[in-house]
Amino acid sequence: MSFLTYPGDNWRNKPVVWLAGKIESPPFSIQARREAGALIRALQNGFALGMPHSRPMPTIGPRCHELRVEDEGCSWRIVYRTDRDAILIADIFRKKTEKTPGSVIAACRQRLKRYDNA
């Protein structure tokens, strides 16, 4: 089964809104930065990503997911939300445990709420 769901007729190139974090080398390796960029570009082009590249994060909110990017000796997570008109990046962090830290979840909720109320 493919990890991509192909876009319908109503897709378009959505902008990325960075609420937090940035993807750069270092700390990302060049390979991980390129992979993250390709995955974000796929989201912009209307593709819905699935495992192993993306996982839903309903604890943060509706339409929230995390991109999973493997790097040299670590894993990165990019928390994003897909809106009708944009892809929102709520956080980028190095994954150190199996469970997403509560502080990351709370910060993402707060950033998204602030964006929605602006």
The pLDDT assigned to 98 comes to 86
The pLDDT assigned to 11 comes to 55
- Domains and their CATH numbers in the chain: 12-117 (3.30.2310.20)
Specify which residues 93 forms β-bridges with.
Answer: 77
- Residue 112: C-alpha distances to residues 3, 10, 19, 34, 83 (Å): 26, 25, 8, 26, 11
Residues near 20 by beta carbon (within 8 Å), at least 6 away in sequence: 89, 90, 91, 92, 107, 111
Average pLDDT over residues 52-60: 96
pTM for the model? 0.86
Residues near 57 by beta carbon (within 8 Å), at least 6 away in sequence: 64, 65, 66, 79, 100, 105, 108
Summarised one tens digit per residue, pLDDT across range 76-104 is 999 999 999 999 999 999 998 889 999 99
CA distance 36 to 104: 19
The pLDDT assigned to 7 comes to 52
Average pLDDT over residues 43-56: 92
Nearest to 52, CA basis, from 27, 35, 73: 35
DSSP state of 71: E
Q: Report helix, strand or coil for 39.
A: helix
The pLDDT assigned to 78 comes to 96
